[in-house]
Structure 1
Amino acid sequence: MENKNRLVVYDCDIGTDDAWGLAMMLRAEGVVLPGGRSSKVVAITTVQGNTDVDNGTLNALRVLHTLDRRDVPVFKGCADSIVPRTWSYTSKFHGQDGFNDVGGYPEVNEEQELQKEHAVNAMYRLACGNPGQVDFLLCGPLTNFANCINLYGRSFLDKIGGVYIMGGNIFGKGNVSKSAEFNFLMDPEAAHTTLERLTRPALILPWEPCIDGELGVTLDWRLNVLGDVDHPFVELLTRAERSMLVPRGFVNWISCDSLLTAIYLFPDAMIADQRDYYATVELSGVHTRGQMVLDHLRGRKVDAIHGKASNVRVVRRLKGEHFRTIIGWTGFLPSADIAPLCV
């Protein structure tokens, strides 16, 4: 019987969306989740992505300070992709430091508060010490996770629980290049290694369902209703997102990593449609490097060309009606009640 007391490694490249997802995971501790499950974050692991790994690590510690959760261990991970990039990511959607450089952050002491163990080794140790019980929420490039696979192979893969990935795309719609989603493009080899080596299907939330559905959260509501909550975490994220999103003319608020976390915690309330596929990642295409490629010919069970069984469960459509309640509850909005979603 599956152990319903789940331990979570939250792997992230902390910009604002990862921060919301992390806050949601920590808020869920002590809550009896659907199916009688419980969850506990046993590690935050950081990786290059939205910002460099040094800033991302500082941001993880800053978030923990705002939430008064300095008990949660943070492990710094990989600073570079598996294969060095020949191009430079210059748009810096989250600014240089991941929080759009707004400043006014809580003071952290990295020397005292950061764990000395590397994130990759921590992943392996936690999986081996709790076989089948540790779930991995992978919210950034998959560099840490893939390096753990490369270092430890089946002795790691046979001991992990579930794997949940925000990344990739269904229909080749890109958000950095014309054909690739950010997390996969920032380390295509890591994404390819992860999908090819997993021994059980991962759940993937791709880019398109995050932007193509109606999730019920306008930027106005996020900044001026949820943003009015008097809490250090909400205050920091509201300053960062106001400076980042208002000048760009956003109307709706999109937070992909918090959507993945909501799926993990409340799957029935969040997932409208999912399907099994065999998936891989394009590594050589001139225009399509980093694109997730699904076998649409056979769809559900076996890859038509290679005869490979499905290795992912792809979320194709989300239910939008509950997400505003979940994110409101994450941000301590008094009127947000998740009790009906936990039945």
Structure 2
Amino acid sequence: MGADDAWALQIILKAEKLLKSVKVLPITTVFGTTSTIRIYKGATEGFIPVDPKMGQFYGRNGFSDIHFWQLHYPNNANEVIQQKNVVEIIREMVMAEWRFNVMGNVDCVNVRLLNEVERIAYSNNRFYTPYDAFSAAAFIFLDTCIQYQRTYNATLELQGQRTRGQMVFDRGNNNHNVNIIATVNEDEIKKILQWTASS
């Protein structure tokens, strides 16, 4: 779990509380931007092997190596991907300057914590790319966030040594189960992140 996941959870939990548009049942963590969170309870490594030479964007613990907690929950991503309406965002971003000079000034304990984490993670980046937060915003605010999307049939590659965990699109299968969001409305994303950060 990384800071982008923390923003996504805040968006979803605030929408549940104030908008009543979603209901959160379980919250699980999965392997992604860090190598220290395990997918399966009791597992010794993540679903996708990590090359130790590669840097982890949010550090080893997902929070730029600032230590808070470590939780382990089971997850089966392939079962999730087989359900309808899974949302994935491709390479959207906002300016990092906006993140720290506008949203970073919101006086809230969560923002102060994530400011510390993300200042480290984005220290050499011009763009702010919390993809999981963008996905959560698009999921909850479909009508205002999404500018362009396409649907596909997708599965996760489970067998390959180098491709295990990659999403594979079957363009010949019309049983579409994922929405690929190619473009989001940046102004709307900014409004949602600021709404999320506010008390």
Length-normalised TM-score, structure 1 = 0.49
Find the counterpart in structure 2 of residue 273 from structure 1: 148
Q: Residues 268 and 309 (structure 1 numbering): CA distance in 2 closer, same or farther, change over 3 Å? A: same
Q: How far off is 1:222 after superposition?
A: 1.0
Cα-to-partner distance string for 1:208-238 (whole Å, 9 max, x where unaligned): 3x33xxx5x3211211221122211111110
1:274·1:313 contact (CA, 8 Å) conserved in 2? yes
Distance 1:288 1:278 in 2: 18
Distance 2:28 2:159 in 1: 29
Is residue 2:198 matched to residue 1:329? no
* Greater C-alpha radius of gyration: 1
Q: Which runs of 5+ in 1 are unaligned?
A: 1-13, 57-75, 121-143, 147-189, 334-343
What RMSD over aligned residues (CA atoms) do the two structures have, in Å?
A: 3.2
Is residue 2:195 matched to residue 1:320? no
Alignment counterpart, residue 29 of structure 1, candidates 7, 10, 16: 16
* Aligned AA (1:271): I
Find the counterpart in structure 2 of residue 230 from structure 1: 107
How many residue pairs get aligned? The number is: 197
**Which structure would you say has the larger RCO, counting Cα contacts within 8 Å and 6 or more residues apart?**
2
Alignment counterpart, residue 85 of structure 2, candidates 185, 202, 212: 202
Cα-to-partner distance string for 1:34-76 (whole Å, 9 max, x where unaligned): xxx532333322233333227x9xxxxxxxxxxxxxxxxxxx9
Q: Which runs of 5+ in 2 are unaligned?
A: none
Which structure 2 residues correspond to residues 44-193 of structure 1 after superposition, within 5 A? 44-51=27-34, 52-53=36-37, 77=41, 79=43, 80-81=45-46, 85=49, 87-88=51-52, 90-102=54-66, 119-120=73-74, 144=75, 146=76, 190-191=77-78
Length-normalised TM-score, structure 2 = 0.79
Q: How far off is 1:289 after superposition?
A: 4.9
Distance 1:289 1:48 in 2: 13
Is residue 2:2 matched to residue 1:19? no
* Aligned AA (2:149): Q
Give the share of equivalent positions with the same residue, in percent.
34
Cα-to-partner distance string for 1:298-340 (whole Å, 9 max, x where unaligned): 4xxxx2xxxx63232322332223010000111118xxxxxxx
